[in-house]
């Protein structure tokens, strides 16, 4: 069953290219998608912070608000890591534009005309 040379050295070895599943990333596309920042903005309407006198509970509420949103959006990363990724994605052009738009939405109408 074996060739005389025996060891199979002469046979050509085929190098198969392994197809790896692309890694899921927390990039600007994901952030701008339905589940991304639009959802955050939607949810923010239900975020009621109490203001003066309730600083600690407010901060904890705020943090858990972001944490749950990030956990839904990108479940595999830890909170602080995910925050870092989001921050990094924020420097991309598309994100930049979107950020400016969100800010402009908040500006009063008369300011946008002049």
Q: Which is nearer to another protein, 29 or 80 (CB)?
A: 80
- Sole residue written with tokens 């109408």: 109
Please, what is the minimum distance in Å from the beta carbon of residue 10 to another protein?
Answer: 38
Q: Which is nearer to another protein, 1 or 91 (CB)?
A: 91
Nearest distance, CB of residue 111 and another protein, angstroms:
6
Q: Are 83 and 70 in contact (CB under 8 A)?
A: yes
Q: Residue 49 and residue 2: Cα distance in Å, rounded?
A: 78
Report the interface residues with another protein, using CB under 8 A: 23, 37, 40-41, 44, 47, 49-52, 55-56, 58-60, 62-64, 66-68, 71-72, 75-81, 83-87, 90-91, 95, 99-100, 102-103, 105-108, 111
Q: CA geometry: angle at 37 spanning 35 and 41, to 5°?
A: 105
d(CA 25, CA 86): 10
Q: State the nearest-atom distance from the C-beta of 40 to another protein, in Å.
A: 7
Q: Are 98 and 32 in contact (CB under 8 A)?
A: yes
Q: How far is the CB of 36 from another protein (least distance, A)?
A: 10
């Amino acid at each position: 069953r074996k060739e005389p040379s025996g060891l199979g050295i002469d046979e050509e070895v085929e190098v198969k290219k392994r197809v790896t599943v692309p890694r899921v990333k927390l990039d600007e596309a994901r952030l701008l998608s339905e589940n991304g920042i639009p959802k955050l903005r939607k949810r923010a309407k239900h975020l009621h912070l109490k203001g003066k006198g309730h600083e600690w509970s407010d901060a904890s509420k705020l943090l858990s608000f972001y944490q749950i949103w990030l956990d839904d959006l990108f479940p595999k990363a830890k909170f602080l890591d995910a925050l870092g990724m989001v921050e990094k994605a924020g420097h991309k052009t598309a994100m930049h534009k979107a950020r400016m738009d969100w800010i402009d939405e908040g500006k009063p109408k008369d300011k946008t005309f002049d």
